[in-house]
Structure 1
Amino acid sequence: MDEEIQGLIKRMSDPNEKEAFYFADKLGKKLDESGRDAVIELVKGDNWEVSYLACRALSQSSYNEESLDAIFEAINDKKNRAHQGAFVQILEEFDLSLRFVDIFRVFLFGNFKAQALAKMYLDEVEFDMTPRTLRKAEKHWNHYLHNPEDEGSLQLKKLEVEPILEEIRELFSED
């Protein structure tokens, strides 16, 4: 890995660095393949702030799609539950058109801020849909129905989710 990239990772990860966001952005613009792998490992790390900065760096890189699996893994990791919203917010920098099911899952199971942001993405992003996408979304919905956080939220969630799924079903029934 390039020395400059190593230096940027070190500066970005330094808890005393006041310009960590600047170094994350600079790192993202200079990232190469070996640096990408190191930054993806930071996304999976235990320090949520460094993980978030690593996500930010990846959002500035040309490795958008390759990065999303690690970012969704961080979003769904229980250790990041309190900070899910920050991780979901960084997704606005990525192409989410192939990630309907991942966003839908965050909408169902995320914390309040993560759910609100996921709902915004569901409303605003133009997703590439397939019958498989629908089946996977229905699988997560059925899991949610059998494992709701509380009965009150279940009714509200039904009002939001069922029209989404019905619209997708109609899309494929026209074929």
Structure 2
Amino acid sequence: MQEETQKLFDKICDPNEKEAFYFAEKLGKINTEEVRDKLIELVKGDQWEIAYLACKALSKTSFNEESLDAIFDAIRDKKNQNHQGAFVQILEEFDLSERLVDIFRVYLFGNFKAETLAKEYLDSVEFEITPRTIRKAEKHWNHYLHNPEDEGSLAIKKAEIEPMLQEMRELFSEK
């Protein structure tokens, strides 16, 4: 790895660095596979602040799918439970059109902030929907119905999710 690139990684990993966001964006503009791999490694790491900066850098690259895979893994990782909202918030920097099921899972199983942001994405992003996408969403919905984390929110989610799933099914039903 080039010396300049390594210095940028050192800057975003330094907890005392005041300009870490600036260096993360600069790092994201390098846009090489080597940088992508190192950033994804940081997203999977144990320090959520550094992982967040790595997500910020990844948002500036052309590696949308690989980056989103790593970010959704970080969102689902139990060690990031208290910081899910930050990771979900960074998703606004990415093209989410192919990620309906991942956003749907965050809405169902995320903490309050993550759930709220995921609902916003569900309402505002234009997703690519296929019959397979609908089946996957229904699978997660059925899992949630049988294992709700909060009985009080079940009625609210039911009122929001069931019409949404029905509307998606109607897209592919024969008339």
Q: TM (normalized to structure 1)?
A: 0.97
CA distance in 2, matches of 1:86, 1:65: 19
CA distance in 2, matches of 1:27, 1:49: 16
Q: How far did 1:174 drift?
A: 4.0
Equivalent residue runs for 1:152-167 within 5 Å: 152-167=152-167
Paired residue for 2:93?
93
Q: How far did 1:151 drift?
A: 1.8
Off by >2 Å, runs of 4+ in structure 1: none
Paired residue for 2:107?
107
Counterpart of 2:13, as a letter, is S
The answer to whether 1:54 aligns with 2:54 is: yes
C-alpha RMSD over aligned residues: 1.0
Paired residue for 2:17?
17
Q: How far did 1:171 drift?
A: 0.6
CA contact (8 A) 1:109 1:115 kept: yes
**Any stretches of 5+ residues in structure 1 without a counterpart?**
none
Q: Percent identity?
A: 74
Paired residue for 1:132?
132
CA distance in 2, matches of 1:57, 1:64: 11
Q: How far did 1:128 drift?
A: 0.5
Q: For residues 26 and 151 of structure 1, do their structure 2 counterparts lie closer, same or farther at Cα, with a shift above 3 Å needed?
A: same
Q: How far did 1:168 drift?
A: 0.4
> Aligned to 1:30, what secondary structure does the other structure show?
coil
Q: How far did 1:3 drift?
A: 2.0
Q: How far did 1:150 drift?
A: 2.4
How many residues in Structure 1 have an aligned counterpart in Structure 2?
175
CA distance in 1, matches of 2:103, 2:96: 8
CA contact (8 A) 1:5 1:31 kept: no
CA distance in 1, matches of 2:89, 2:150: 25
CA distance in 1, matches of 2:42, 2:58: 11
Identify which range, 26-35 or 85-94, moves more after superposition.
Answer: 26-35
CA distance in 2, matches of 1:174, 1:43: 44
Counterpart of 1:72, as a letter, is F
CA distance in 2, matches of 1:102, 1:9: 29
CA contact (8 A) 1:107 1:116 kept: yes
What's the CA shift string for 1:104-144, capped at 9, x where partnerless?
Answer: 00000000010110011001111011100000000000010
Counterpart of 1:96, as a letter, is L
Counterpart of 2:59, as a letter, is S
**Any stretches of 5+ residues in structure 2 without a counterpart?**
none
CA distance in 1, matches of 2:17, 2:150: 42
> Aligned to 1:15, what secondary structure does the other structure show?
coil
Equivalent residue runs for 1:67-86 within 5 Å: 67-86=67-86
CA distance in 1, matches of 2:14, 2:38: 16
Q: How far did 1:48 drift?
A: 0.3
